[in-house]
Amino acid sequence: MLPVAEEIGSEALLRMFTTFPKTKTYFSHLDISARSEHLRCHGKKIVEALAEGARNISTLTTTLAPLSRFHAYQLRIHPTNFKLFNHCIIVTLACHMGDNFTPVAHAAIDKFLSAFSAVLAEKFR
């Protein structure tokens, strides 16, 4: 998945900004228009972090500790937004993979993204 990290990540972000405009409020410091450099770069960063989590799936809390602190103390994104982004990642994968994105694959990815988001939100209070 890594070579297409930029494509998947930026598309998921664009879908989220288009469907849930309030999520744009966290990105006033970036140019998040379609195909912008910032959008591609940021999308790639997120997917690479997800891949890193998947490679260390049994130790998510330890692996994601720095990211978790960053989201809690610096970014302070309301955790409901993680669900919105997760949904858009899944829609992006569905568009790219078609029928290959089976119900079982969908369940596994949804479970993984939920666990990942839970760790990111862990240190909020």
Partner 1 sequence: MVEWTAEERAAIQGVFNKLDYESVGRESLTRCLVVYPWTRRYFGGFGNLFNAEAIMANPKVAAHGIVVLQGLEKALKNMDDIKNTYASLSEFHSVKLQVDPVNFQLLSDCLTVVIATRLRTEFTPDVQAAWQKFLAVVVSALSRQYH
4 in contact with partner 1 (CB under 8 A)? no
Query: Burial of 102 by CB count in 10 Å (0-12 exposed, 13-18 middle, 19+ buried)?
Result: exposed
22 in contact with partner 1 (CB under 8 A)? no
80 in contact with partner 1 (CB under 8 A)? no
The tally of CA atoms less than 13 A away on the side-chain side of residue 100 is 5
Residue 95 CB contacts under 8 Å (≥ 6 apart), including other chains: 11
**Contact stretch for partner 1 (CB under 8 A) within 39-47, 60-68, 73-81, 86-94:** 86-94
95 in contact with partner 1 (CB under 8 A)? yes
25 in contact with partner 1 (CB under 8 A)? no
Determine which residue in the list 2, 19, 56, 69 makes contact with partner 1, applying CB under 8 A. Answer: 19
Q: Which is closer to partner 1, CB of 14 or CB of 120?
A: 14
**In whole angstroms, what is the distance from residue 91 CA to residue 96 CA?**
9
